[in-house]
Structure 1
Amino acid sequence: MSSSLSVSYSSIIRVIVVLIALVFLYLIRDIILILFLSFIIAAALDPWVNWFERRRLPRAVGVFAAYAVFFTILSVIGVLLAPAVAHQFKELSASLPGYYERFLKEIDAVSLSTPEAGQEITGLAKTLGSFAGNIIPALRSAIGGGFTIFLLLVLTFYLAIEDRSLKRLLRSILPDQYQPYLTRMINRIDEKIGLWFRGQLLLSFIIFILTAIGLFIVHQITGEVPFWLLLALIAGVLEVIPFLGPGIAGIIAVLLVLPNSFPVAVIVAVLSFVIQQIENNLLVPNIMQKSVGLNPIIVILVIVIGTRLAGVLGALIAIPLTASLMVVLKDIRSQNPLPSSASAPPAEPL
């Protein structure tokens, strides 16, 4: 009797400890997300840091050099683009009331001719208006907070320079028989996440350049796309949301041009469609598909789940986290393959 009570008490204590641990992890979920994001950036820096290490230089030198290059490029881009982007943003903010009034007039005109279509457009306008109103708060929550950025940089620095020490620490926790497997899995996940992050940066930059060139040419010919650089920047930023981001950027561009000129809005829509085709058929297969290898449906689902659980930051880390899990599942599948059709027992007749 006493032994059964002892087992019961120990089981209850284990359950309580697990629940407390889960609650604690939930309370510090933002810190965990930042830590995982730091791991992603450190994985992307790994080839650069290893290049320095092979030349008998400390890993810290490689990380400092990477930071120096990054902030130099960011400063140059800021000096070249910030004044134009700020000017276009100011003009757009001043023009939005006029855009909205002209858009409502167009909706009223359609409503008079076809009431059903007018109601559909009105509902769509309200939905898009609500979405647009949430863009700035979402972006602020994603990049805001000087302390968060500082913490991200510090964690990335230590994860990058202490790469081998962390792996040795993890190996020391597990039994000896699991250490080779753990080392192999960490290296594969590290490589996978690094490829994804570098590919995502390259993809966003290419989309920004293509959109900027296309909208600039349209503006030079028609004079109806004054916010071409701002729209290109939005397209590059939204590229972090696979499949959905480019479409959202195209809708925003068309809605801003539509009140001024319907033909130019059609041209912008065609341009957005062409860029999406280039992305889907040329860029993504050669840049992202090889590094991530996830089904598009899975990508969309994990982004929605990540957004639901942890907001914008959750959406950003959803893909690399899923890619890491796929590496583990693929390894488990390779070690325990399903029976082939030849060796499988025959199915029972229905």
Structure 2
Amino acid sequence: MVAAGGAGRRPDEAADRAAAAAAGPRQTWAALPWLVRTAVVWSACLVVIAAGLYLLARITLLVTPLAIALAATFFLAALLDPVQLALRRLRLPASLAALLTVLLLLGILGGLGVLVWNLTANQFSELGDELQQGLGRTRDLITSTLPVTDQQLDGLLDQLRKAATEQEVDPVASARTVTEVFGSALLALVLLFFLLKDGRAMWHWTLRRMTGPNRDVAAEAGRVGWRTLGSYTRGTMLIAAIDAIGIGLALVLLGVPLAFPLALITFIGGFVPIIGATVAGAVAVLVALAANGPTTALLTLAAVIAVQQIEGNLLEPLVMKRQVRLHPVVILLAVTAGTLIAGIAGAFVAVPIAAVAWRIIDSVQRQREAAAAARPAPPAPDDPPATADPAPG
């Protein structure tokens, strides 16, 4: 009897042990404070996201010329898409409209290149001399106003100079770099032609391969992303041109030499938000300090700050619109990450990529919220039958 009873209880005891073993981790997790559980979940998510971004960055580094060509292709296509559409409205075939758009781009770039070369070829050497003089005056100002000796400042400058020149120039690597740049430019032009010609057809082909609500979500996200990229590219070019004209006019009025090269540097720096404008303004102030002294340098600094404030508070909200703007912290992080990953090219493309990615994520989230709001609410459960109060005894 005992043996039989013991044999009969063994399956129950085994089931209890299994249930206790299964419930053990859940009970342990539930016993943790909510702050610890939240920190563990968020840490795991951040580790997964960081690993994915690191893997993507490594792959991008392996195919850097291709990545640069693709980025340049999309930016140029977004910039020139209105031109191509205007040509298509004139009843031109898609191939001819795309070809004329690419030829127009080459003509504008070639004309600007010749003009800039003729105006600034002899002045950039003078710009280097002016910068050296400006740095010398800045050095004298630092040593005269701060508790820093000439020997300490010279030692720091020597260390920076050695760090910048300690790497020897490799002719093979330089030739490879030139070949990669030329190949990337040629590939970008070819891809630009096909993207202008068949871009919309390729996008519709991709959408037709999707089914259900994902098609509508992807279609709206694609429209928002493309619109954002076009607005950002055209708006940045317009704002950079206005900055260059404003600062160039201020330099001419103040009598600062080399105004055109400095305006060109300002225009190029406008494509790297915050950092580019800061560097270009610093160069202009150094040249003004070297050429005309501290009074003109201070006036140049005031003019640079005034132009940048007008651009940031008036022109940028008007031209870029709110849906394209990013917080300055996001811009600084994006530019820093792009520079660390791909150097100067990464600094140029980091902010528009971040803006497009943010707008796509925001569009998908809004569509999901709208779909959830339009979904009918589940029926409410029936009320339980009312129980009669007991009769008083």
TM-score (norm 2): 0.67
SS, match of residue 271 in structure 2:
coil
Please tell me the residue identity of whatever aligns with 2:358: M
Q: Which of 332, 336, 347 pairs up with 1:304?
A: 336
Indicate whether 1:92 and 2:141 are aligned: no
Out of 147, 158, 169, the position equivalent to 2:205 is 169
2:274 corresponds to 1:243: yes
**Is the contact between residue 131 and residue 286 of structure 2 (CA under 8 Å) also seen in structure 1?**
no
Question: 1:158 Cα deviation (Å)?
Answer: 1.1
TM-superposed CA distance for 1:168, in Å, is 3.0
- Within 2, Cα distance between the matches of 1:144 and 1:29? 9
Residues 218-269 of structure 1 show CA distances to partners (whole Å, capped at 9, x for unaligned) of: 11xxxxx222111111111001111222221111111222234111111111
The aligned amino acid for 1:286 is: L
**Structure 1 residues 80, 295: CA separation in 2 closer, same or farther (over 3 Å shift)?**
same
Kindly indicate whether residue 91 of structure 2 is the aligned counterpart of residue 56 of structure 1: yes
Alpha-carbon distance change, 250 to 143 in structure 1, aligned in 2, over 3 angstroms: farther
Q: Does 1:315 align with 2:351?
A: no
C-alpha deviation, 1:280, in angstroms: 1.1
- Indicate whether 1:190 and 2:231 are aligned: no
Q: Describe the SS at the equivalent of 1:259.
A: helix
2:4 is matched with none
The equivalent residue for 2:382 is none
1:333 Cα deviation from its structure 2 partner: 2.4
Once the two structures are superposed, the pairs formed by residues 279-298 of structure 1 within 5 Å of their partners are 279-290=311-322, 292-298=324-330
State the 1:30 CA deviation.
Answer: 3.7
Which stretch shifts more, 266-275 or 119-128?
A: 119-128
Q: 1:97 to 1:307 in 2, by over 3 A?
A: closer
**Correspondence for 2:366:** 334
Aligned to 1:276: 308
Change (3 A) 1:211 1:333: same
- Structure 1 range deviating more: 264-273 or 319-328: 319-328
CA offset digits 1:284-308 (Å, max 9, x no partner): 1111244513222212211111212
| Displacement of 1:57 | 1.4
Provide the C-alpha distance between the structure 2 equivalents of 1:143 and 1:203, rounded to a whole number of angstroms: 32
Give yes or no for contact 2:94–2:197 (8 Å, CA) kept in 1: yes
Cα-to-partner distance string for 1:61-101 (whole Å, 9 max, x where unaligned): 33333333333333443444322211111223355555555
Kept in 1, the 8 Å contact 2:75–2:233? The answer is: yes
- Mapped partners of 1:246, 1:143: distance in 2: 30
Amino acid at match of 1:196: Y
Deviation string, structure 1 residues 105-129 (Cα, Å, up to 9, x no partner): 4544x1xx64249799779978998
**Helix, strand or coil: the match of 1:145?**
helix
**Equivalence for 1:253:** 284
Larger radius of gyration between Structure 1 and Structure 2 = 2
Distance 2:136 2:179 in 1: 32
C-alpha distance in structure 2 between counterparts of 1:116 and 1:85, whole Å? 37
Indicate the residue corresponding to 1:10 in structure 2: none
Secondary structure of the structure 1 residue equivalent to 2:87: helix
Cross-structure match for 1:159: 195
> In structure 2, how many angstroms separate the alpha carbons of the residues matched to 1:45 and 1:132?
39
Q: Is the 8 A contact 2:221 2:360 kept in 1?
A: yes
Do the aligned residues in 1 keep the contact of 2:88 with 2:94 (CA within 8 Å)? yes
Structure 1 counterpart SS, 2:91: coil
Matched, 1:70 2:105: yes
Deviation at 1:187, TM superposition (A): 1.9
The 1-side partners of 2:265 and 2:343 are apart by 19
Percent identity of paired positions between Structure 1 and Structure 2: 27
Alignment length, in residue pairs? 307
1:266 aligns with 2:298: yes
Which of residues 167, 182, 189 is equivalent to 1:146?
182
Q: Does 1:201 align with 2:237?
A: yes
Give unpaired runs (5+ residues) of structure 2. Answer: 1-51, 170-176, 374-393
Contact 2:266-2:280 within 8 A present in 1 as well: yes
* RMSD, aligned α-carbons: 3.6
CA contact (8 A) 1:199 1:291 kept: no
**Given the alignment of the two structures, is residue 232 of structure 1 paired with residue 263 of structure 2, yes or no?**
yes
CA pair 142-277 structure 1, distance change in 2 beyond 3 A: farther
The one-letter amino acid of 1:246's match is A
Q: Which amino acid aligns with 1:277?
A: Q
CA distance in 2: counterparts of 1:94 and 1:125, whole angstroms = 17
- Structure 2 counterpart of 1:250, one-letter code: G
- Residues 252 and 259 in structure 2, CA contact (< 8 A), matched pair in contact too: yes
Moved more, 209-218 or 253-262: 253-262
Q: What code does the residue aligned with 2:205 have?
A: L
